[in-house]
Amino acid sequence: MRPELDETQTAALDETATQDKSPALDKTATARAKEAPPPAGADLAEGVRLGHFRIERKLGAGGMGEVYLATDLALDRPVAIKVLPSGTASGKARERLIKEARAQARVNHTNVAHIYFIGEEEGRLYFAMEYVTGKTLAERIAAGPLPVEDALAVIRAATLGLREAQRSGFTHRDVKPSNLMVDGHGVVKVLDFGLAAGSPGSVTDGPVAQTTLAGTPLYMAPEQARGEAIDFRADIYALGATLFHLVSGHPPFIADSVDELLTLHASAARPLVPRGDNPRTTIKAIGSLIARMMAPNPADRFASYDELLRALELASVEQARPAGIWVRGIAAFLDFLLVLIVLGLVEGLVELIHTPGDFVRGPVVLVTTYIYSALAIGRWGTTAGKGLFELQVVSVTTGDRPTWRQAIRRQLIAATLPLAFTVGDEAFGALHFAWPAFICRILLGLTAVYYFFAMMHSSLRVPGKRAPWDRMSGTMVRYRTTRGSTGAAA
């Protein structure tokens, strides 16, 4: 695999020809601009002043500029200075640097590195930004894959930053491990908006035309590589490729040339995530998540960053820890006991509840229990019994309280079999049909056993495990959580 496959590449597009969709154009990420780039000047020496910033040392360089550690003399703090090499501070390179600074400055979010100042000194255009101490994800995975939970936390934090960029009107276009950094406090920062597409002040829900064909081949979405109009889903694709790299230790596709690599991204089957030391079910959940994020067709990816955040949360045991079987059982018993007490206090129903053999005794208790649960879950997302143990019922699509439709559907599905067999038992007993009543009692007992094991299965510390009534209604029972906003990666 050639080194440039992991480097940001740019190629100027003939905008007129692009609009005409001329078949003569065959632009790829390896195409070079027609004009030769101007020669780069010498590195800035230690002590050189750019405005009120003093250069300390060089941090790195790339096709988009050189980065230096500097001291802000006005505020006495370290900053990172991005500078266009001497001789390139005009034309497209200059416009790109200004656009990068303005785009990044508009995104005010914890998970995006902040811009402080833009200026020009002796023909050198530069901007000062937050100096993030720590390592990029590219440096971290050089030592091996990240634990799954750490990788999910990183991607979740990057998603929060990119969502804010979308709200500010920009698509990043160059998401990759080397553009994600974890600072000394464990906070993930999205770096380098040099290829950002879009216009400030308008949310980029619709497609944005690419005026340059650019990106990093190892992580580039197929539509971005083809030079088509893109939206935030191109960044979701790159996030999926990055997540694969973080948990597997290598990019999703490897090739000897850019053209071959882009073909793999566009048409090859999505790669399987190596299991390593992870449980099979955990890797299966991560693999399904990555496959959707990296779907070749943008329409098959997540329809919003919020939807992606919910999926990341569900794939994480730490974020969506399922409720334990015994806690759920005790909570259900307490709710049932509460219903019995309330019904026992209602005049006219006491005799129905406590008179043996009465036809409506069992059905009344069950129906009342399920109605109470549906109302409580639809209104508060929990019941009295569940609330005592900090349990909540949430929608898997929003992570918040279920809708009324979900709450009612959940209870109807859970109630159908127990209620049917209970009514059958009571009805056949009243008619003195012993065998049918006995069969209904047997089926009711088997249903109870099935429900017990279904709840036990859904209580395992495995992502995506839910009881049938939760799965069919789009809900889940979990411990109440407090969501973080920065996605620390330990």
* Active-site residue list: 174
Using CA atoms, how far apart are residues 454 and 372, in angstroms rounded to an integer? 22
What is the b/e burial string over 13-36, where b = at least 16 CB atoms within 10 angstroms of the residue's CB?
beeeebeeeeeeeebbbebeeeee
Distances in Å between the Cα of 2 and the Cα atoms of 178, 183, 217, 463 are 17, 29, 11, 37
Residue where the block lists tokens 């230790």? 249
Using CA atoms, how far apart are residues 399 and 310, in angstroms rounded to an integer? 6
- Helix-strand-coil split of the chain, %, nearest 5: 45, 15, 40
Q: List all residues 6 or more positions away from 338 whose beta carbon is below 8 Å from its beta carbon.
A: 372, 384, 385
Contact assessment for residue 107 and residue 164, using Cβ atoms and an 8 Å cutoff: yes
Contact assessment for residue 447 and residue 421, using Cβ atoms and an 8 Å cutoff: yes
What are the φ and ψ backbone dihedral angles of 262, each rounded to 5 degrees? Answer: -65, -35
Residue from 24, 13, 23 nearest 197 by CA? 13
Which of helix, strand or coil describes residue 265?
helix
